[in-house]
Amino acid sequence: MIPLKDDIPRVHTPVAVILVILLNVGLQYVVSGQPPYVQEAIMRLLGVVPARYAFPDWAAFSGFPAMGALPFFSYMFLHSGWWHVIMNMWMLWIFADNIEDVMGPLRFLAFYLLCGLAALLLHMAFNLTESSPIIGASGAVAGVMGAYVTLYPRGKVLTFIPIIIIPYIVRLPAWLFLGFWFATQVFAGLFEQLGAPVQGIAWWAHVGGFLAGMFLVRLFMRPERCYYCEYKGRNFRFS
């Protein structure tokens, strides 16, 4: 399912969202123009290799330079290709403007980074021995999606559903669209733990980001800016 638009009005210009999108696209443009060996080096230095932190002696022997905590944040601005970054930024654009509305730009940026960090930590908890770099904004974007379903569960999402060769477009409530998306991430993560061939996607990062977003939005939202929310602090308002 691919979201096309939602029906929650935007009140403020999403300055932070635009900056995040420009940064992701700009970095992809720069990285994609490098030779393959340079791209690989960038991904391994600025992406997160879990084994690098779980086994520092192995990392030193393998020639990993000390990068401190930088990869824990830089990883969410790197992507494996244009399709990867386009899909992540499209999901961000659909859902994040209404989240920035209730937080303001600076709070939103802090929220976004913390969701990306939480996503990474949950993925690492299941994959400490992994030697491939983790990259991509999807964990942080999942946090935005978790925040959206908390604040606007009955918002409508215009959704494209490809059924074989028949394009099907339908309006789904946000709780259904995002709830289904979240369930697929959980099931895929469980299947992967059982040895199913679903490698290549950080399913648990999506789960961790989504859950973090549901929790953190309650801390970062400003009720006076919550113009269309159903959740307003301790009370619910239905419009």
Low-confidence residues of the chain: pLDDT under 50: 234-239
CA angle, residues 95, 192, 185, in degrees to nearest 5? 15
What is the per-residue pLDDT for 182? Answer: 96
Residues 193-228 have pLDDT tens digits of 776 655 678 889 999 999 999 999 999 999 899 989
What is the per-residue pLDDT for 59? Answer: 75
What is the per-residue pLDDT for 164? Answer: 75
Please, which residues have CB within 8 angstroms of residue 96's CB and are 6 or more apart in sequence? 14, 17, 20, 108, 112, 141, 144
CATH pick for 2-236 out of 1.10.3720.10, 1.10.10.10, 1.20.1540.10, 1.25.40.10: 1.20.1540.10
What is the per-residue pLDDT for 62? Answer: 73
What is the per-residue pLDDT for 197? Answer: 56
Residues 145-154 have pLDDT tens digits of 999 999 999 9
